[in-house]
């Protein structure tokens, strides 16, 4: 029984450090994409932002050591499973591809990117 509690506290500690890593990444970078290398929607998000002239920080979850913990935290934040792509602009969660495309089509994305310091023009 104690071994189970130990594993649970270790998992919680892993999730705490994953949350801290996500918070650090999103506070230190204008645009962060939580991604998977094999995800086609993640690829579209990266191409859209790069096409606008943004140089996003990309965190490939399948290349991270704490993949499971980070994914659990993102599921909680995004409310979807799988939680990628997850786009953060100016430290705030924008959402996934659908939300990013909606902002782009409505004309709200570029001003948000400028406000966050991700675009200069």
Say how far apart CA 7 and CA 107 lie, in whole Å. Answer: 47
Cα dihedral 6, 11, 12, 16 in deg (nearest 10): 140
CATH code of domain 2-116:
3.40.30.10
- According to the model, what pLDDT value does residue 68 have? 79
Q: Binning pLDDT at 50, 70 and 90, where does residue 120 land?
A: confident
Residue spans of the domains in the chain: they are 2-116
Are the beta carbons of 119 and 54 closer than 8 angstroms? yes
Q: Is the pLDDT of residue 12 over 60?
A: no
Query: Encoding tokens for residue 4?
Result: 């189970």
* pTM (whole model) above 0.85: no
């Amino acid at each position: 029984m104690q071994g189970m509690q130990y594993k649970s506290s270790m998992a919680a500690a892993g999730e705490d450090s994953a949350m801290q890593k996500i918070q650090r990444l999103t506070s230190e970078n204008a645009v962060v994409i939580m991604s998977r290398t094999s995800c086609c929607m993640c690829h579209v998000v990266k191409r859209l932002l790069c096409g606008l002239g943004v140089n996003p920080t990309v965190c490939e979850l399948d290349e991270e050591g704490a993949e499971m913990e980070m994914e659990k935290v993102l599921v909680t934040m995004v409310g979807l499973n799988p939680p990628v792509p997850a786009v953060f602009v100016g430290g705030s969660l924008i959402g996934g591809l659908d939300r990013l495309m909606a902002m782009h089509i409505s004309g709200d994305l570029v001003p948000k990117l400028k406000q966050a310091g991700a675009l200069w023009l």
